[in-house]
Structure 1
């Protein structure tokens, strides 16, 4: 298999540099990053390469791991750990982490999955100090664009448990888990990166 044959997401290719610009600052003091929902592995490879001070732990559900591993086998820099299976309703990945990054997962997993992720951050993943969540979000229960509205309809047609989440709901879950919302970064294609840090920001 060549690099051209690897599983590929054009969205990942489009958004990786704008996301990296935020992560460079947000993860400046982080050392071990847990990525939830690594997908094709494009983000993991790119971010690990450009954030050499971080050890990057890619994870995904079991049925995505084959494609993820194919990319890691070809392209992973030395600071990427072997991919692990991670389903928020099942066993945790092994290792100690101080940061979590996830992209385009909150609208794919059911609402209970998002709640479960923050419950883990409150308890079993309490070592994590920084959380960065990328994707589309509603504001005040309103879509921020017509394209997001159409995307939400498409998601809910595919599975009623999917859908774009309210940013305020995510912020509330984070607050219950002990995090303070540091900033909402506006990114291209009507997406945002929500940055959280554990405790009160001085």
Structure 2
């Protein structure tokens, strides 16, 4: 038990954003199905959302080995039948180990990874999601025509100082990348601390049942 507890990593931002994000998820997620969380990080979100949404099967993933250990530690501590063991997944890879999901959730990844990760995420969502499936993103974005919060400008500068390939992305660029992979932006929700939740959907063929 002590070893499992020591493997748990904690991200303060997760504690702050989980309730507002859960409120949006309750509105948009389907009644049943599998949620593929890409870049689960510490695993705190996976444990929290799986407990709050027992009607959905939750598949956490990450590319980082230490993150996978932390996710498993959180999972072991929760003992939830709908929270699956974590799988290693690189969002930018040409193929993913997960071949199907009704929803893909990606929280706070796009700005702390190279643009290739966003491109890979969109390609993967286009492959994996069924017609009507959702891709849900959460994080900071620059939005054309909207005054940028000073905190986001400072955050962007700090990210680029750490890694020139990182940075806050424009919502328009992310939306365009999604469109290239057959995903339509359906909803944008303002969140605390100048973040956004962005919901994309893979369209159903005309005349198909909803």
Q: TM-score, normalised by structure 1?
A: 0.91
Shift in Å, 1:2: 7.6
Unaligned runs of 5+ in 2: none
Out of 135, 141, 144, the position equivalent to 1:140 is 144
Out of 111, 114, 129, the position equivalent to 1:110 is 114
Q: Does 1:160 align with 2:164?
A: yes
Unaligned runs of 5+ in 1: none
Moved over 4 A (4+): 2-5
Indicate the larger mover: 44-53 or 67-76. 67-76
Judge conservation of contact 1:137–1:143 (CA < 8 Å) in 2: no
CA distance in 2, matches of 1:35, 1:135: 14
Indicate the larger mover: 137-146 or 113-122. 137-146
Distance 1:95 1:119, change over 3 A: closer
Indicate the larger mover: 89-98 or 163-172. 89-98
Q: TM-score, normalised by structure 2?
A: 0.88
Superimposed CA distance per residue, residues 7-62 of structure 1 (whole angstroms, 9 cap, x where no aligned partner): 11111001001000000111134510000111111111111111111100000013
Judge conservation of contact 1:141–1:166 (CA < 8 Å) in 2: no
CA distance in 1, matches of 2:145, 2:117: 19
Out of 50, 53, 59, the position equivalent to 2:52 is 50
* SS state at 2:111 partner: coil
